[in-house]
Structure 1
Amino acid sequence: MNKKTAKLLAPVLGLSLLVPSVFPLTAQAASPNKIKSVEFEGMAAPATPEDMAKAYSQASLKVTFEDGGVQSYPLTYKTLFKSTDKINGTPAGMAVDVNGKPIMDNSVPGSPVPFVSDAPDSNSLLEVKGAKPTGLGGNPLSLLTHYEYITSDNAGKSAYGIVPASISLTTLDQDKKTGELKATDLKKVDFSQAGGLWIPCNGSLTPWNTHLSSEEYEPDARAFEKDPTQTYLGAYTKTFYQDDNAVVNPYSVGFIPEVTVNKDGSSSVVKHYSLGRFSHELGKVAPDRRTVFFGDDGGNTMMFLYVADQAEDLSAGTLYAAKWQQTSGENGGAADLQWIPLGHASDSEIKTYIDQNLKFSDIFETADQDTEGFTKIKTYPSGKMEWLKVKPGMEKAAAFLESRRYGAILGATSEFNKMEGVTVNQKDNKLYVAMSYVEKSMEKDAKGQDPADHIQVKKLKAGATYELALKGGQTDAGQKAIDSDYVPSSMKGLVIGEDLAKADEKGNTAAVDKVANPDNLSYSESLRTLFIGEDSGMHANNFLWAYNVDTGKLSRILSVPAGAEATGLQVVDDLNGFGYIMSNLQHPGDEMILPDELKKQVEGYINELWDNKKSGSVGYLSGLPALKDIKRENGNNGNNGNNGNNGNGDNGQHQGRVLLRDIAEAVGAKVEWNNTDRSVSVTWKGRSFVVKIGEASAWVDGKRVELDSKVELENERTVLPAGELESFLK
């Protein structure tokens, strides 16, 4: 055949999700070689007990070219390591004390072992310029990963909140040709100068390449002062310092640490006290490098906004809290937002209060009923009615150590419920916020007893992801200008779950083809896609979803084991020409909602795959090429080494066999890959040619035709005997 070959567009195993920052979603001029659109083709929910115990993907990314050509790129889930795996001798999820030594689990007499987490959460994949090579020939990358908590000790007793949490810093080798990641070293981040790490949940990578960690579910300082045993803090502190006499201070935790990775492989930690103290799910920095958005996890929580004094410096700034001004109660509700200034502070100012061992009673006066001069509020962490008055001169301490209580006194809304992940859509000036369960404090106060009832939306236990409009030129409640172009002005439900009246055959109590209880969020500017990870007790399996913000299409792209949570979501649009969707799973098999017989079957597989429920997974979705592999380049004879040809300009022929896509697309035929049955379809002039991997036959216009040999994948390229395909394309 005297035809030019097209550059092969085949999925390459080991590569991660393509999300390059220059992805050409909108063509500038009509061309058969340019991409018209991209969308995710979702997968079905797992049907068998074995699949319900796995972490896997059967989804794909569909790429449509301007000439109508279509290519699908199948996704696969790749585990970098389990939390129990040792990397250079260090268990990834191991808890360490103030001296960096393993914290030992002595719950089983005579069998001491290190505490190792089964709950990996946040990931920040990054590249540090000048980092030492790994020795494997690839690009050295760094991965920071949270280990949120230890579920239980070896005797089965809960260890949640008692054993200090940790962050691992993993050195990864990024293959320069394939983008595949491989862990080569792992060490624990040193929190000795930050007083340890208290229950880190999600996190984010800043625009200046540092990692914002988190500390959620801050201990109630009021309850602690009355009875220290009412919180986990005492045991946590003694365990971290390995000292029963260690000083315990509830105001030392509940903040956002910032982790910097250095080119020599070391790291440093700074806790940002001026960002406020509350149940930090995470902090996400806006494109201006000054404005920070937050999730505040728990019941009766609050929405906060922080504007730093200087870009790329979170050590001083102004903290605001939102007031919800409802405009609709449907589909998760909608509202305009008013921002109430809580105050301005620096980290050092607030740290001084902590070092003085300030107590709750040093900040507030209290009453037990409606009393003149006291404000009635209801917030997390107490969740109870309180009557409070700030002591003279303690406004700043109240604003930054008791941010939610002080915000409620000033009139901010403390009725949000399970506010989780946040992420930014820069092009459209949108912020997305996950509300895992839209219920309880977000419903109308039927008894009329709460001190405020700003939010009055219909109950939606399956939760919702909200879209918030970001604007500049906004003023706060005191009519003072807010110095940011990224101030949320309104919010509305965008991706809505659906509660079921009764459980289905697998125990699902929320519609299985919709998001239930959204948690992790991440957004790809290149793909125009919002990614949503679930933390659901309403789905038998939790999923990772892709939501196209232009078309509204929702696609399931990953399933994690029953009882596990999908965590660690991070989309990296372009890292040395490759993109990644990082995604972890934690506590597989925990609190499964399956019917008993099915649960027994699934549990057997989970115990086999996940070390008897002791392991979580740190990994990413892979299987798609980078930008250079998607752009079609006719006329190069495929001699760039990327298409598996022999380099002799043989027009796609391969020792008497041919590369199907090269031959078909060279004449303008449409080629589609079907991941379900591993078949390839060629459409040409109204006719069809279909082959399946492993079979020695083809279906030509619906009729079976025998081939000289089997259809095979070679380096993920479909190869088959030349004759029948060439005849079809004449």
Structure 2
Amino acid sequence: MKRLKPTKLIAPALGLALLVPSLFPGVAQAEASKKIKSIEFIGMAAPVTAEDMAKAYSGASVHVTFTNGTVQNFPLSYKTLFKSNDVINGTPAGLAVDVYGKPIMDNSVPDKPVPYVSDGPDSNSLLSVKGAKKTELGGNPLSLLTHYEYITRDNAGQGAYGMIPASMSLSTIDQNKKNGELKVTNVKKVDFSAVGGLWIPCNGSLTPWNTHLSSEEYEADARAFEKDAKQTYVGSFTKHYYQDDNKVGNPYANGYIPEVTVHADNTTSVVKHYSMGRFSHELGKVAPDRRTVLFGDDGGNTMMFMYVADKTENLSAGTLFAAKWLQTSDKDGGAADLQWIKLGHASDSEIKTYIDKGIKFSDIFDTADKDTEGFTKIKTYPSGKNEWLKVKPGMEKAAAFMESRRYGAVLGATSEFNKMEGVTVNEKDKKLYIAMSYVEKSMEKDAKGEDPADHIQLPKMKSGATYELSLQGSQKDSSQAVINSNYVPATMKALIIGEDLAKADEKGNTAAVDKVANPDNISFSQNLRTLFIGEDSGMHANNFMWAYNVDTKKLSRIMSVPAGAEATGLQMVDDLNGFSYIMSNLQHPGDEMIIPEPLKSEVDSYINKFWDNKKAGSVGYISGLPSLAKLTGSNGNINNDNHNERKKGQVVVREVAEANGANLKWNQAERILTVTLNGKILSINTKTSEVTINGSKVQLQGKVALVNGRVLFPADIMDEFIKQ
């Protein structure tokens, strides 16, 4: 759910000014009794004791300074909503279920069958559903969708990653109306039977129209599967999901973006967007135009993709692009211009038809085993090996959307990114942030000259970097056709980089402990002007969550998770019913610890105590964040949800106009707002509700609304103006 930012966010060098009017001078100021001068995260130290190294906690705070000189401090704390193995209303939260919704049993220990329960909670989407029934606790009813990425080990202690179908839970949350505290009242599993189950869901995001975009990463290698099905997880996944040992499975059935809608009656519906391409989906993030989607592609030798939907708020058909890295610097994590290559256009139903027909890799590509005329040499995930491929006549669309990375490499896109993880958008500055967990291997210069291409040539930085990408309109693809989006990444540069250590310190850290190492989940707060970063590091003894102010450039550690655990499920929630949260999970505590002995054994004993012998992950949130609406004495309506306004048939004119590259002009004396886009002119008189497009009057069903310095306007007319 897209949270509306205040009417204007202005960031001076010394801090953050909030609730300052933009188009309508005096409106928001008159409603606010106080103004904020700056907001600063005061970081915490890394854990020192063995007990603290086994905990999930925050010792950070938020420092708010007002323009009148007063200061308020808000301590932060981490609160666990539930553990992944907690049984809530008869259901373990992380339970793996089959196509019938029944528990999938772990028979690894003879005569002691137990259900498979995940220790790997990941993505969260906390949302408010209009019309949802109130909980028995009397607070605001909220919904929480949570991924359970995998099961680390079976009951016998053997690795089970990817072999068991993944799952998602829908939790009913009660939000205390006085203090904002969240409590779980119910948990149930989301039904994926209509789309063939859920394959390794990693991160996810909330769309501006209040649905959840899930993910399926580490797609199975269809070429390897065709040669020997046992080389992939497809067989195990399929047999367990359908409870049928005769099921073979299809690698092309998974590796896409599922979209989940939560309804007012607490039911869910799920669709898979096959037209968004098949690759290692870390997550998809929708841009403010509600139709451009940017992705993370996890793994080695991966690719950067962009999807532009045909219609706003409808991801069932669109055009898929892949990026080519044109390097401009190799310093401090590197920089590049980006060129976009069009892979093709398709609808979900078109691609689903290929899958239903049982299409195979050999139906799409001819192959060779050496340099051969007519074949293109590529190297990409999932094989990670040099391949010589030629698309069979008429199979370009199947190649583009079912073998997106292989086809992209054939067309010249860069397939050298490494561990491309989280993606988030800074709407005001039109910036995209992408976490590259490890800048190494395929991102290094090819010293041996063996790779088919060598677009990215960077010094090795194992601790990784978070990159900033500029989002621009009027961009052309490699064929010089204009891309129909105002949110096309055009340049890319490292923003926050780690620091590798020459040797490990006394706790086993091989990356500087006061810098981010191996960024993974990221989320941006429009209100706080802060980028939040969670780690999945094999270089820090404990993984941390960080807050980075994009104006002051200050980096603050705000949370620590248990040694060997990954910080996951990061979602910044700005002013939901007057309260803000940083949703945060942890998975697989104590797994693959890098701490030296004897400290390791001491930490391990605490982890077993706190986390049920390493069988439990945690779903929770950081509480204590200040409510900006309450701090400024406003009526609390500054950050109403955009989807609620759109469901009422209205949109905020400034947000939609700016998202589509339009110019705005406000006549204070006449109270007229003028929007100009591609030679078209929309005039809105907020006093008389008279509206014209290119001088012609437009008949409105209702009046134009002016609320807290924002013009609310009929969505259908605004959409028609944009599309003309």
Equivalences for residues 558-573 of structure 1 within 5 A: 558-573=559-574
Q: Structure 2 CA distance, aligned partners of 1:582 and 1:367?
A: 48
Q: Structure 1 CA distance, aligned partners of 2:367 and 2:375?
A: 8
TM-superposition CA deviations, 1:383-410 (whole Å, max 9, x none): 0000000000000000000000000000
Q: Residue type of the partner of 2:119?
A: D
Contact 1:103 1:114 survives alignment (8 Å): yes
Q: Structure 1 CA distance, aligned partners of 2:375 and 2:512?
A: 45
Q: Match of 2:17?
A: 26
Q: Match of 2:222?
A: 221
**How much has 1:33 moved relative to structure 2?**
3.1
Contact 1:19 1:527 survives alignment (8 Å): no
**How much has 1:448 moved relative to structure 2?**
0.7
Structure-2 change in CA distance of 1:32 and 1:66 (3 Å): farther
Q: Structure 1 CA distance, aligned partners of 2:606 and 2:363?
A: 54
**How much has 1:623 moved relative to structure 2?**
1.9
Contact 2:84 2:92 survives alignment (8 Å): yes
Q: Structure 2 CA distance, aligned partners of 1:618 and 1:87?
A: 13
Q: Structure 1 CA distance, aligned partners of 2:103 and 2:222?
A: 29
**How much has 1:632 moved relative to structure 2?**
6.6
The reply to whether residue 499 of structure 1 matches residue 500 of structure 2 is: yes
Q: Match of 2:528?
A: 527
SS in 1 for 2:606: helix
Q: Structure 2 CA distance, aligned partners of 1:431 and 1:296?
A: 15
Q: Match of 1:702?
A: none
SS in 1 for 2:301: strand
Q: Structure 2 CA distance, aligned partners of 1:466 and 1:147?
A: 27
Q: Structure 2 CA distance, aligned partners of 1:357 and 1:32?
A: 64
Q: Structure 1 CA distance, aligned partners of 2:489 and 2:237?
A: 36
Contact 1:164 1:199 survives alignment (8 Å): yes
Q: Percent identity?
A: 77
Equivalences for residues 312-323 of structure 1 within 5 A: 312-323=313-324
Q: How many residues are treated as equivalent by the alignment? A: 616
TM-superposition CA deviations, 1:418-458 (whole Å, max 9, x none): 00000000000000000000000000000011110000011
Q: Structure 2 CA distance, aligned partners of 1:104 and 1:32?
A: 59
SS in 2 for 1:282: strand
TM-superposition CA deviations, 1:90-143 (whole Å, max 9, x none): 100000000000001111122211110000000000011001111111111000
The reply to whether residue 282 of structure 1 matches residue 287 of structure 2 is: no
Q: Residue type of the partner of 1:587?
A: H
Contact 2:279 2:404 survives alignment (8 Å): yes
Q: Residue type of the partner of 1:451?
A: P
SS in 1 for 2:603: helix
Q: Structure 2 CA distance, aligned partners of 1:64 and 1:427?
A: 22
Contact 1:290 1:308 survives alignment (8 Å): yes
Q: Residue type of the partner of 1:220?
A: D
Q: Structure 2 CA distance, aligned partners of 1:406 and 1:143?
A: 37
TM-superposition CA deviations, 1:351-407 (whole Å, max 9, x none): 000001000000000000000000000000000000000000000000000000000
**How much has 1:525 moved relative to structure 2?**
0.5
The reply to whether residue 621 of structure 1 matches residue 622 of structure 2 is: yes
TM-superposition CA deviations, 1:162-204 (whole Å, max 9, x none): 1100000000011111111100011100010110100000000
Equivalences for residues 659-674 of structure 1 within 5 A: none
SS in 2 for 1:299: coil
**How much has 1:579 moved relative to structure 2?**
1.1
Q: Residue type of the partner of 1:128?
A: V
Q: Match of 2:210?
A: 209
SS in 2 for 1:214: coil
Q: Residue type of the partner of 1:356?
A: K
TM-superposition CA deviations, 1:580-607 (whole Å, max 9, x none): 1100000000000000201000001000
**How much has 1:22 moved relative to structure 2?**
6.5
SS in 1 for 2:316: strand
Q: Residue type of the partner of 2:590?
A: G
Equivalences for residues 99-138 of structure 1 within 5 A: 99-138=100-139
Q: Match of 1:696?
A: none
Q: Match of 1:610?
A: 611
Structure 1, unaligned stretches of length 5 or more? Answer: 1-17, 634-730
Q: Structure 2 CA distance, aligned partners of 1:23 and 1:182?
A: 33
Cα-Cα RMSD: 1.5
SS in 1 for 2:598: helix
Structure-2 change in CA distance of 1:20 and 1:618 (3 Å): farther
The reply to whether residue 430 of structure 1 matches residue 431 of structure 2 is: yes
SS in 2 for 1:319: strand
The reply to whether residue 49 of structure 1 matches residue 50 of structure 2 is: yes
Contact 2:581 2:625 survives alignment (8 Å): no
Q: Match of 2:183?
A: 182
Structure-2 change in CA distance of 1:575 and 1:632 (3 Å): closer
SS in 2 for 1:416: coil
Q: Structure 2 CA distance, aligned partners of 1:525 and 1:228?
A: 46
Q: Structure 1 CA distance, aligned partners of 2:331 and 2:90?
A: 53
| Larger RCO of the pair (alpha carbons < 8 Å, separation 6+) | 1
**How much has 1:86 moved relative to structure 2?**
1.0
Structure 2, unaligned stretches of length 5 or more? Answer: 10-15, 21-28, 635-724
Q: Match of 1:330?
A: 331
TM-superposition CA deviations, 1:631-657 (whole Å, max 9, x none): 379xxxxxxxxxxxxxxxxxxxxxxxx
Q: Match of 2:399?
A: 398
Q: Structure 1 CA distance, aligned partners of 2:245 and 2:534?
A: 39
Q: Structure 2 CA distance, aligned partners of 1:228 and 1:84?
A: 32
Q: Structure 1 CA distance, aligned partners of 2:522 and 2:65?
A: 26
Q: Structure 1 CA distance, aligned partners of 2:300 and 2:163?
A: 22
**How much has 1:245 moved relative to structure 2?**
1.3
